[in-house]
A and B are shown apart, each in its own frame.
Chain A
Amino acid sequence: MSDLFEMPEPEVPQGQNAPEFTVSELSGAVKRVIEGEFGRVRVRGEIGRVSRPGSGHLYFDLKDDRATLAAIVWKGQASRLALRPEEGLEVIASGRLTTFPGQSKYQMIVDDIVPAGMGALMAMLEKRRAALAAEGLFDPARKQALPYLPTVIGVITSPSGAVIRDILHRLRDRFPSQVVIWPVAVQGDRCAPDVAAAIRGFNALAPGGPVPRPDLLIVARGGGSVEDLWGFNDEAVVRAAAESAIPLISAVGHETDTTLIDHAADRRAPTPTAAAEMAVPVLADLQARLSEGGARLMGGIQRGQDQRSQRLRDVARALPKADALMGPPRQRLDYWAERLPMALRGAATAKRVRFGAMAALMRADLLLRFITNERRGLSAPSERLHAATRRGQTQKARDLARLHDRLAPQVLMRPTQEARRALDALSRRLNAAAQGQTATWRARLDGVERLRQTLGYEQTLRRGYAVVRGDDQVVKSRAEALLAKRIEIQFHDGRLELAPRAAARKPTQQPDDGSPDGGGQPSLF
C-alpha cells in the first residue's frame, strides 16, 4: 500500500495533498487489498437466485437477513461440487473473495459448498416433498405397472462403476435382455439436469427409430452421502420421473436412503440389483413353466383321444352282430311260415265235413212239423190258466172281508189294563219289604261299628298310647327302631316325624343317648 503514497503527484491542487488515482488504479488497489485480506474464507448463508448461463459458470447469491454476497463457481469446479446449489438452501461456501472492477463489485469465488448442517437440508427436502406431493406427483394412482417381460430396458446411470455392472450381471442371470445405457453424471452439479434429460430423452424416442425405445427405465446410483444423492431430489428429476410414459424403477442409494425420485417412480428398488430383479422374470422358470405347459397340453389331448377311442371300443364291443340280432326271429318266421299252408288246408277240410253233416239234416218239412206240434201243446194250458186266475181272486176277497169284521180296538186294550194293575200291586209290596230290610241292616251295622271302635288301636291312642313307624313299617322292638332310617310317631291327633338320625351312629351308644329320636318309645311295645 505504501507505494501508492510514494507516487509523486506534482499536479496536486493547492491544499489538497491526497494523491489522485485513476479508476483502474483504485480498483486494482481494492482488489489487491480484498484478495490479500480474504484469500481463504468460509461463509455461511442461504443461497439466493441461482443462474447457470451457457458458459458453464455458476452464479448465485449468498445472503442472510441483512446482506447479500455475489458468488461464482467456475465451470471446471461446478461439476465437482458435492452439492448442487439450490435456492433456499442454507450452506457453508468455501473460497476466496475478489472484486469485479468492471462493475464495482466484489464477489466470492466458491470452490466448495456444503450444507449448513443436516437439519437445513432435511427441512428443505421435506418442504419440497410436501409441495410435490400436494401436486399429486406421488399419487399411487399415477403408478404404472411394469411390463412382465420388457423388450428393451433403458438404464440411466453412470456408464462406469459397479452399479451398471451389478444390473447387467443380474439381468444376465435372470433373463439376458437388450439394454440401452444413457450415461449421466450421478453426482455433482450435472447430475440433476443429466438425469432429467435422460428420462425425457428416452420418452422422446420414437418407436422403430435408430435407438430402440425402451419399455422399462431404471434410474440407478450406488449408495452415498445425502449430498452425493442430492441430485435425485431435484425437482426437475422428480417431475421427469413422474411424467415418464415409460414405467420407471428408481434404484438410488442403499435401502435406507430415500430420495424424492423414489416417490415419483413407478417402483422403488432398494438396490440396483433388486431393480434388475424387478425388471425381468427368470428365464429358466419361464422355460420350465412353458415346457410343463407343453407337456400338459400333449397329455391333455392324448388323454382325451385315449378316452374317446376306449369308449368307442367299449361301445363297439357291446353292439351285437346283425346276424345274431336277426337269427331267432328269422327262425321263428321260417317255422310258422312252413306250417301256415298246412294249417289252412286242415282247418278248411274239418269245417267242410261238419257243414256236410249239418246240411244233410236241414230240410223244410222238419221245421214245419216242429212248429205245428208246439202250437197244439200251447192252446190247452192257456185256457186253464185264465180260469184258475179268476177263481183265486174271488176267494182272496172273501177272506179279507171276514178278517176286517173281526178287527176292533177293545181287543187290543184289555190285556194292557190287567197287566198295569198287577204291576202296581207288586210295586207297593216291594217298597214295604225294602224299608223293613234296611232298618234291620242299619241296626246291625251300628252294633258292629261300636265293637270295631272298642277293638281298634285309635281309641287306645286317646288314652295316651302311640304307634311308632320306621320307614313306614310299624316298629315293634328297639332293634327295629335302631335299624330304621326314619322314625315317625302317630298320636291320636296326628303324626310326628322325627329328624333322621346320623347313619354312622353305632348301636352300642344307643343306651346312653338321650336324644328323643332314639329314646324310650320301644318300651311301649
Chain B
Amino acid sequence: MTQNPDQSQTPVEAMSFEDAMAALEQVVGALEKGDVPLDQSITLYERGAALKAHCEARLKAAEEKVAQITLGEGGQPRGMTPVTGL
C-alpha cells in the first residue's frame, strides 16, 4: 500500500500490483509531458514496458481457485480439499 517515494529504483518484480500500476502511470505522465531528455525517455519507456508486463502477468494469473480447509481433531487445519460447484 505504501507508495515508495523513490519508486524509479524499486525492481519491478518486487512491486505490488498497485505500486506497479501507480509507477506506470507516473512514467506515462512523465513521457507525455515531453520534457524528458532522450536517453532518459528511452530508459523510462523500458521501465514502463516492464511495469506493464508485470501488471499484465498479475491480471492474466487471475483464476478462480476455491478450496476448503479440512480440520483435524483439535480444530487445526489438516489440509485443503478443492471446492467446486459453488
B11 in the interface (beta carbon within 8 A):
no
**Contacting pair B36 A293 (CB below 8 A):** no
Instruction: Decide yes or no: A283 and B1 within 8 Å by CB, A148-B17, A300-B28 being known contacts.
Output: no
Interface size class of A (residues with CB under 8 A): 35 or more
Minimum CB distance partner of A303 in chain B: B34
Q: Is the CB of B77 within 8 A of A308?
A: no
**For the complex, is A252 an interface residue (Cβ under 8 Å from B)?**
no
- Which of A5-13, A176-184, A316-324, A461-469 is near enough to bind chain B? A176-184
B22-35 CB contact bits vs A (8 Å, 1 = yes)? 00110110011010
The answer to whether A147 and B1 have CB atoms under 8 Å apart is: yes
Q: Which residues of A contact B48 (CB under 8 A)?
A: 293, 297
| In the complex with contacts A181-B69, A211-B79, A294-B52, A300-B31 CB distance below 8 A | yes
Using A148-B17, A205-B77 as known contacts, say yes or no to A181 and B67 having CB atoms under 8 A apart. Answer: yes
A297-B31 contact, Cβ under 8 Å, with A201-B76, A211-B77: yes
Decide if B65 touches A179 in the complex (CB within 8 Å): yes
Q: Is the CB of A180 within 8 A of B80?
A: yes
Which of A145, A147, A168, A287 is B86 in contact with, Cβ under 8 Å? A168
Whole-angstrom CA separation of A286 from B54 in the bound complex: 13
Residues in A whose Cβ lies below 8 Å from that of B52? 290, 293-294, 297
In the complex, the answer to whether B45 meets A301 with C-beta atoms within 8 Å is yes
Interface presence of B14 (CB below 8 A): no
CB atoms of A290 and B59 under 8 A apart? yes
A172 in contact (CB, < 8 A): yes
Across the interface, do B59 and A286 meet the contact criterion of CB distance under 8 Å?
A: yes
CB distance from B85 to the nearest CB of A (A): 10
Residues of A372-388 whose CB lies within 8 A of B: none
Q: Mark A164-194, 1 if CB is under 8 A from B, else 0.
A: 1100100110011111111100000000001
Q: Could you tell me the distance in whole angstroms from the C-beta of A183 to the nearest C-beta in chain B?
A: 6
Given known contacts A148-B18, A300-B28, A304-B34, is B59 in contact with A283 (CB within 8 Å)? yes
| Chain A residues packing against B (C-beta within 8 Å) | 145, 147-149, 159, 164-165, 168, 171-172, 175-183, 194, 197, 201, 205, 210-211, 283, 286-287, 289-290, 293-294, 296-297, 299-301, 303-304, 307-308
The 3 closest A-B pairs by CB, nearest first: A300-B31, A148-B18, A176-B64
Given contacts A149-B58, A178-B63, A183-B69, 8 further A-B contacts (CB under 8 A): A178-B65, A179-B66, A180-B80, A182-B68, A297-B48, A300-B31, A304-B34, A304-B38
